[in-house]
Amino acid sequence: MQKARLITVPFLIGFSIILIYNIGYSQEFKITLLHSNSSNGVLENCGCPEHPLGALEKRLALIKDIRESNEHVLLLDSGDLLSAVGNSIKDSLALISINLMDYDAITFGDQEFSNGVDFFRRLVNIGKIPFVSSNVAVQGQSLAPPYRIFNVGGIRAAVIGVTSPSVFMLFPVDKKIGVEVTDPDLVLQDIISEVEGKSDLIILLSHSGYDEDLELAAKYPSIDIIVGGHSQTLLEEPTKVGKTLIVQAGQSGFFLGELNLILDSSGKILSYEWRLIPLTLELPDDPEILALIREYNQIVAAGGMRQVPVYLPVLGSKFAVLASDDCKDCHINEYNAWKKDDHSFAFKTIVDARKTKDSECLSCHTSGFGRDDGFTSYASTAHLINVNCTECHLTSREHFDNPSETPVEKIIEATCTRCHTATNSPEFVYANYFLKTNHTVKVSYDDKNFHIVEKGESLSIIALNRWGEMSMWSDIYRLNRNEVSDPDLIYPGQRLTIPEIKK
């Protein structure tokens, strides 16, 4: 018995060592990587019925919920925290909201400069936002470390930031003075080589666009994950290039990406699950961010914004801005059709949403916004609420003196997409919308005919006798504007051009 015990004990010790080794070797780690991009300074859902998704006001509540149910969470963003056009007050509140979310790392987007370089330097120097950037400098000074390394549940994760020079190609020159963006190929390989010895997992925050991310993944196979941005691509599933996973979550903070990783002790990704979480309206709002939104609305309502940013191209000065009532004398049929169209109720939708002071909404729900003679406030320019005739039918000032020689410009797709952007109208199809809203006269005419005015006749009576529809007097008037200066002043013996309806 003693001999047997002596043989058994070493055997058990050896077996235990092997078992412990195997358990340690095969130990699995779970990391939840939450990612966002292209917040675009959007604080909350705009109330547009075609994209009922929230933004920062719901993101914070969702992040808190995920953190409570997952032990190891890494929260990352690939840039464009701020609005594209610059709105220093609203963007400042957006940055406060981002701070409340306690991000682990964020890289620079081009829109971080939308309020100018000085604003950007101030927000970086505050030091509350954990920026990373390997290739962006301002006047020769790097404003963020090239990478950060985190210990997440025993896995060392290196997070590198990079911004493509191409994202600044169309950026306003006056807002990027002093901004220097180094070619990523000149810096990335050295940084990757540096972090490889310090980390188990390499993540690249790339503000470059989806196509360039594909190239980065092919050039630098050591990168495990690329969190993309700038192109605002809404991926249905991660793209895999070699072993590199590429993820991106669309635009304006409407989605939050959640990548759940299972890794071994060396940081190798054994498996993953990814989902895009839409920030639907039924998700809870965060009370702290709702308070910031109320603060912004109060500032705007009190006139605290001296320069109101405009969110769509302003109508050119050669075009007139008028109320639709000014057009109905000559275009009564079109006016009556417009009165039944959604464009004539555009202002009501932002009244219902309490957005009548928000320039983002006013840009597309009033007429002439951004011009001195356009909509400024309901009190002073109530006649320019809604989307009126001249907002869509670009109308030269000469048209009112000589309409037959200076017709309004034709509606084209670009006319509509000034407001019906992918953000505001993701389901917009030009042909479908045009058919829905087309309110031109639904008749076609043969060659010109003439009518000699008789005593007691008016344009309405002529139209009634011709077509049984008095409102079509405007068609007669339109064809005779050079001879008839006032539709109420025609005289017996006067010869009028009369349109004939095709049979």
* 246-285 pLDDT tens trace: 999 999 899 999 999 999 999 999 999 999 999 998 899 9
Q: Are residues 219 and 109 in the same domain?
A: yes
Q: Is the pLDDT of residue 457 over 70?
A: yes
Residue 130 identity? P
- Report yes or no on 12 lying in a domain: no
Q: Is the pLDDT of residue 23 over 80?
A: no
Give me the residue label for tokens 């054994």: 270
Give me the residue label for tokens 């994209």: 51
Cα distance between the two ends of the chain: 117
Q: Are residues 359 and 260 in the same domain?
A: no
Residue 53 identity? L
Query: Which pLDDT score is estimated for 503?
Result: 40
Q: How many CB atoms lie within 10 A of CB 128?
A: 11
Top-confidence residue, 139 or 449: 139
Alpha-carbon distance 112 to 80, whole Å?
A: 6
- Report yes or no on 13 lying in a domain: no
- Claim: this prediction has a pTM higher than 0.75: no
- Give the residue from 439, 462, 494 where a domain finishes: 439
- Mean model confidence pLDDT for the chain: 83
Q: Is the pLDDT of residue 327 over 90?
A: no
- CATH code of residue 124: 3.60.21.10
Top-confidence residue, 85 or 388: 388
Q: Are residues 85 and 220 in the same domain?
A: yes
* pLDDT tens string 411-422: 888 788 878 876
Element housing 210 (H / E)? helix 210-219
Give me the residue label for tokens 């003196």: 401
Q: Are residues 197 and 288 in the same domain?
A: yes
Query: Which pLDDT score is estimated for 397?
Result: 83
| Mean pLDDT (whole number) for 22-37 | 80
Query: Which pLDDT score is estimated for 125?
Result: 73
Burial tier of 113 (Cβ tally within 10 Å: 0-12, 13-18, 19+) = buried
Give me the residue label for tokens 């092919």: 218
- Report yes or no on 161 lying in a domain: yes
Q: Are residues 275 and 221 in the same domain?
A: yes
Query: Which pLDDT score is estimated for 17?
Result: 40
pLDDT grade for 13, boundaries at 50, 70 and 90: very low
Query: Which pLDDT score is estimated for 152?
Result: 95
Which CB contacts under 8 angstroms, 24+ apart, belong to 19-27?
Answer: 24/265, 25/264, 25/265, 26/264, 27/264, 27/265
pLDDT grade for 37, boundaries at 50, 70 and 90: very high
- Report yes or no on 303 lying in a domain: no
Give me the residue label for tokens 């356009």: 374
Top-confidence residue, 81 or 5: 81
Which CB contacts under 8 angstroms, 24+ apart, belong to 148-153?
Answer: 148/104, 148/105, 149/195, 149/198, 149/199, 150/74, 150/104, 152/31, 152/72, 152/74, 153/29, 153/30, 153/31, 153/71, 153/72
Top-confidence residue, 241 or 8: 241
- Give the residue from 246, 263, 295 where a domain finishes: 295
Give the domain extent around 291.
28-295
Top-confidence residue, 194 or 173: 194
Residue 251 identity? Q
Top-confidence residue, 363 or 258: 258
Q: Are residues 383 and 400 in the same domain?
A: yes
Query: Which pLDDT score is estimated for 310?
Result: 56
- Report yes or no on 433 lying in a domain: yes
Residue 33 tokens read as: 């990587």
Q: Are residues 258 and 381 in the same domain?
A: no
The tally of CA atoms less than 13 A away on the side-chain side of residue 242 is 15
Q: Is the pLDDT of residue 8 over 60?
A: no
Element housing 337 (H / E)? helix 332-339
- Report yes or no on 18 lying in a domain: no
Q: Are residues 290 and 350 in the same domain?
A: no
Give me the residue label for tokens 């149910």: 69
- CATH code of residue 424: 1.10.1130.10
**Cα separations in angstroms, 34 against 23, 277, 499:** 29, 10, 65
Least confident of 255-264, 294-303, 415-424, 472-481: 294-303
Q: Are residues 57 and 182 in the same domain?
A: yes
- Report yes or no on 9 lying in a domain: no
Sign for the CA dihedral angle at 168, 312, 39, 116 comes to positive
Least confident of 36-40, 62-66, 169-173, 495-499: 495-499
**Cα separations in angstroms, 299 against 302, 310, 459:** 5, 17, 53
Top-confidence residue, 477 or 165: 165
Q: Are residues 197 and 323 in the same domain?
A: no
Query: Which pLDDT score is estimated for 45?
Result: 75
Alpha-carbon distance 300 to 117, whole Å?
A: 24
- Report yes or no on 15 lying in a domain: no
Q: Are residues 113 and 255 in the same domain?
A: yes
Query: Which pLDDT score is estimated for 301?
Result: 61
